Amino acid sequence: MTLAITNARIVGPDGETRGTLLVEGERIVAIGAVEVPDGVETVDARGRWLAPAIVDLGVFAIDREACRRGGIVRVALMPDQSPVLDDPGMVQRAALVGRPDLWIHPLVAATRALAGHDLAEIAFCQQAGARAVATGRGWIADTAVMERVLSYARDLDLAVVTHAEDGALVAGAVATAGETATRLGLPAAPAVAEALAVARDLMLAEATGARLHIRQVSTAAALDLVRAAKRRGVAVTCGITPAHLHLSDIAMSDFRTFAHLSPPLRSEADRQACRAAIADGTIDVIASGHDPQGPEAKRLPFADSAPGMAGAETLLPLALMLVRDGLCDMATLFRLLATHPAQVLGLDAGTLTVGAPADLILFDPEAPWRIEGDRFASAGNTPFDGLPVQGKVLRVWKGGRELRG
């Protein structure tokens, strides 16, 4: 089986190449000015962009159709499932359930039942398909436990994916302390809760030599800590979701529960710091944080509602806004969306090079559409509901095989 995609703007690791991408079997065999052999299935890209399919680091639900629409072919599944992914059987089942269209890379719970006390059977779960260790939606409060999680994961060469909010400070809070939370009368925690958690985990990562991936960093103070740690050579990477790049806490006004996120939306100054951290390379990963929630979890008073947004279908257009705003170029954007997340997970994927898996998306970065939550594949809980955006995924291939809706 051979496939040729011609007349494409190909997003390679070092920039754009125009021409043809040739696939044989599941892998890319040639890129650039390639002679297309006779009798090969040919797709004329007509000058549109061909990029590595998105590797979404940290989703809470398996949502195949939303992922296909969003150009996502691999997801790292958070351990916060029911039951929790702290057991080899559960991990193995999760790793197989999406294939062949969606490859699910489970993140094993750092501690049993995510309770923050006893280590889960991380090595067994690694054998069963876990690609990293994760603390889930919460932070491990006990510093001794966290130190052991990092040490143990280092032995297995697994990254530890953390949630960075000091648990005591954010207990009961649903918003970032500030004018909006005060006016709405919402329980709030100071933004420094994030930097406190990041500071501890960075020091532990440095001391243990473990690989640390902070799944979402959303404040200036925490980004400064990550920036400084990277300069010291600490093996740290960090991520963000589009909500913290495009929205500030004002989006919670009128008690809009779709804007109830974890971590909560931050001040405008912090949002600007996040955008600057995209531009200077401090942020390594952009992920959807996909967490569809139905009306029974969202049509509630704000403080009683569940946090989280459905993000898979809107990840690409919201990320493309960063290119249009001049914060990064297309090649950098796909390092954030595909290459870096694949590296954190230790995957041979996420880049368009000869020999790499043919996980591809063909997309039009200009195509306009309007985000409408009630047209989403599953739940439509997005704070971007109604927003006009640009950027549509046209076709998706996983291992050289096209995915169709």
Partner 1 sequence: MSHSDHRPGTLIHGGAVFPHRHLTGIEGLQPHEITFLLDEAEQWVEANRSHAKGDGRLAGLTQINAFFENSTRTLLSFEIAGKRLGADVVNMHAAQSSVKKGETLIDTAQTLNAMRADVLVIRHMSSGAVKLIADKVDCPVLNAGDGRHEHPTQALLDALTIRRRRGAVAGQRVVICGDLLHSRVARSNILALTALAAEVRVCAPSTLMPPAIERMFVTPYTDFDAALEGADVVMMLRLQNERMEGALIPSPREYRLRYGLTPERLARAKPGALVMHPGPMNRGVEIDSSVADGIQSAITEQVAMGVAVRMACLDVLTRRARGVEGWA
Cβ closer to partner 1: 241 or 267? 267
Among 44, 118, 142, 179, indicate the residue that binds partner 1 (CB under 8 A): 179
3-state secondary structure labels for all residues of 233-253: CCCEEEEECHHHHHCCHHHHH
Among 23, 76, 125, 188, indicate the residue that binds partner 1 (CB under 8 A): 188
Least distance (Å) between residue 74 CB and partner 1:
35
Encode burial over 53-66: b for 16+ CB neighbours within 10 A, e otherwise. bbbbbbbbbbbbbb
Among 18, 46, 99, 183, indicate the residue that binds partner 1 (CB under 8 A): 183
Binding segment for partner 1 (CB under 8 A), chosen from 143-151, 186-194, 338-346, 353-361, is 186-194
Strand partners of residue 370: 388
Helix, coil or strand: residue 319: helix
Whether the upstream peptide bond of residue 37 has omega within 30° of 0, thus cis, is no
- The answer to whether 190 contacts partner 1 (rule: CB under 8 A) is yes
- The answer to whether 178 contacts partner 1 (rule: CB under 8 A) is yes
Which tokens go with 190? Answer: 């100071």
The helix (H) or strand (E) run that includes residue 195 is: helix 192-208
Q: How far is CA 294 from CA 190, 233, 254, 264, 387, in A?
A: 29, 43, 19, 19, 20
Whether the upstream peptide bond of residue 263 has omega within 30° of 0, thus cis, is yes
Binding segment for partner 1 (CB under 8 A), chosen from 63-71, 232-240, 253-261, 346-354, is 253-261
Whether the upstream peptide bond of residue 383 has omega within 30° of 0, thus cis, is no
- The answer to whether 305 contacts partner 1 (rule: CB under 8 A) is yes
Whether the upstream peptide bond of residue 357 has omega within 30° of 0, thus cis, is no
Q: Would strands 388-398 and 401-403 be described as parallel, antiparallel, or unpaired?
A: antiparallel
- The answer to whether 186 contacts partner 1 (rule: CB under 8 A) is yes
What is the rounded distance in angstroms from the CA atom of residue 329 to the CA atom of residue 308?
Answer: 28
Cβ closer to partner 1: 235 or 300? 300
Q: Which of residues 45-64 bind partner 1 (CB under 8 A)?
A: none
Cβ closer to partner 1: 47 or 301? 301
Cβ closer to partner 1: 288 or 305? 305
Cβ closer to partner 1: 255 or 369? 255
- The answer to whether 107 contacts partner 1 (rule: CB under 8 A) is no
Residue 311's nearest CA partner among 273, 337, 276, 339 is 337
Number of residues that bind partner 1 (CB under 8 A): 24
Binding segment for partner 1 (CB under 8 A), chosen from 98-106, 131-139, 141-149, 184-192, is 184-192
Q: Would strands 15-24 and 27-32 be described as parallel, antiparallel, or unpaired?
A: antiparallel
Among 181, 247, 337, 352, indicate the residue that binds partner 1 (CB under 8 A): 181
- The answer to whether 387 contacts partner 1 (rule: CB under 8 A) is no
Which tokens go with 261? Answer: 């996120």
Residue 287's nearest CA partner among 225, 360, 238, 343 is 238
Among 296, 355, 374, 404, indicate the residue that binds partner 1 (CB under 8 A): 296
- The answer to whether 177 contacts partner 1 (rule: CB under 8 A) is yes
Contacts of 258 (CB under 8 A, 6+ apart): 298, 309, 373, 381, 382, 383, 385
Binding segment for partner 1 (CB under 8 A), chosen from 137-145, 172-180, 329-337, 344-352, is 172-180
- The answer to whether 250 contacts partner 1 (rule: CB under 8 A) is yes
Cβ closer to partner 1: 235 or 250? 250
What is the rounded distance in angstroms from the CA atom of residue 226 to the CA atom of residue 237?
Answer: 8
Binding segment for partner 1 (CB under 8 A), chosen from 8-16, 176-184, 335-343, 375-383, is 176-184
- The answer to whether 255 contacts partner 1 (rule: CB under 8 A) is yes
Cβ closer to partner 1: 10 or 174? 174
Among 60, 139, 302, 363, indicate the residue that binds partner 1 (CB under 8 A): 302
Cβ closer to partner 1: 107 or 188? 188
Cβ closer to partner 1: 30 or 387? 387
What is the rounded distance in angstroms from the CA atom of residue 266 to the CA atom of residue 219?
Answer: 7
What is the rounded distance in angstroms from the CA atom of residue 70 to the CA atom of residue 56?
Answer: 10
The residues that touch partner 1, with contacts defined as CB under 8 A, are 177-179, 181-188, 190, 250, 253-255, 296, 299-305
